């Protein structure tokens, strides 16, 4: 995912935004072992364990979570990440089964969709991230003897800079429809970087392309910033999400895409809780209430 690692060592991966990548991987590992799992990632726990002592005591199975689903970190927030994974898995597979042959994971981080999803034949998954992130992931997956189920192309690039040339040099064809995914990415980017990313995706998207991404609306109140989700992440595993989220006023990328001719749908996570019958539900002073998942489609020719 885009909550990415920065260094090609266990200790480096555990630092900064890299620790959020491990947090999400641990949540996916816990979800994978639930009898009612929304998504199953058999590789997630191996990333956590490869990080060394910084994450050595983190849970990777439901029975290791004190308090179960009532736990604000590994219960409620963990189920959020499981729900997000499932919703975006379904988005990508639906596009692939409808004929889209190339998928681009923007800020791929520890995403293993090229390995774990049941892709139709002839699909290519491009993973864009910084070199140390991709190297750490490659080391873990190669050590497991993991085999990808779609052609997998890794692109070393910084999404805050110019990355289109590296993607096309890696074999990406802008004349073909693409399924784009920015999961857990835009929340961390400066405003100008988000606008630049949307500009680039728009410029590289043929008719019939689609994009899914996650945003957080507005500025959260002091009561929400004191949410147990944020405090548990900060005090128990050293992830201060509030300092990682970019503090600038956010652009309305969904409106921007609509103005460019895309059709956009904005959903809350709770919409998908209702759809799948499980996942986090609204609560007072909710740290998840401002999260939105945006699905955009460029009409076909």
The candidate with the shortest Cα–Cα distance to 178, out of 151, 201, 155, 200, is 201
The string of pLDDT tens digits covering residues 181-226 is 999 999 889 999 999 999 999 999 999 999 999 998 877 888 889 9
Q: Give the domain extent around 104.
A: 10-297
Question: Could you tell me if residue 4 is inside a domain?
Answer: no
Tell the burial category of 53 from Cβ atoms under 10 Å away from its Cβ (0-12, 13-18, 19+).
exposed
Domain annotation covers residue 166: yes
Q: What is the domain count for the chain?
A: 1
In a domain, 147, yes or no: yes
pLDDT in tens, 52-74: 877 889 999 999 998 898 999 99
**Residue 1 domain flag:** no
Average pLDDT, the chain: 91
Residue 113 lies in a domain: yes
Residue 3 lies in a domain: no
In a domain, 65, yes or no: yes
pLDDT band at residue 13, thresholds of 50, 70 and 90? Answer: low
CATH number at residue 87: 3.40.50.150
**217, part of any domain:** yes
Dump pLDDT digits (tens) for 33-53: 999 999 999 999 999 999 987
């Amino acid at each position: 995912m885009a909550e990415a690692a920065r260094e090609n060592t266990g200790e480096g991966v555990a630092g900064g935004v890299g620790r959020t990548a491990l947090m999400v991987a641990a949540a996916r590992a816990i979800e994978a072992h639930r009898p009612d799992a929304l998504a199953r990632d058999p590789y997630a726990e191996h990333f956590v364990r490869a990080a060394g002592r910084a994450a050595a005591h983190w849970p990777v199975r439901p029975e290791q979570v004190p308090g179960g689903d009532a736990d604000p970190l590994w219960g409620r927030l963990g189920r959020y990440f499981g729900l997000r994974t499932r919703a975006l898995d379904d988005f990508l597979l639906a596009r692939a089964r409808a004929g889209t042959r190339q998928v681009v994971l923007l800020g791929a981080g520890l995403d293993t969709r090229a390995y774990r999803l049941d892709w139709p034949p002839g699909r290519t998954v491009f993973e864009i991230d910084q070199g140390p992130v991709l190297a750490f992931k490659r080391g873990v997956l190669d050590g497991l003897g993991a085999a990808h189920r779609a052609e997998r192309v890794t692109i070393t690039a910084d999404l805050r800079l110019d990355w289109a040339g590296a993607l096309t040099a890696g074999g990406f064809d802008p004349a073909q429809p693409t399924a784009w995914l920015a999961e857990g990415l835009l929340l961390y980017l400066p405003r100008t970087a988000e606008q630049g990313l949307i500009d680039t995706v728009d410029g590289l998207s043929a008719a019939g392309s689609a994009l899914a991404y996650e945003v957080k609306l507005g500025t959260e109140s002091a009561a929400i910033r004191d949410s147990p989700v944020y405090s548990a992440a900060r005090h128990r595993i050293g992830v201060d999400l509030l300092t990682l989220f970019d503090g600038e006023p956010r652009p309305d990328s969904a409106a921007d895409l609509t103005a460019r001719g895309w059709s956009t749908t904005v959903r809350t996570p709770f919409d998908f809780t209702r759809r799948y019958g499980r996942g986090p539900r609204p609560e007072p002073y909710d740290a998840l209430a401002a999260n939105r998942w945006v699905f955009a489609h460029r009409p076909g020719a």
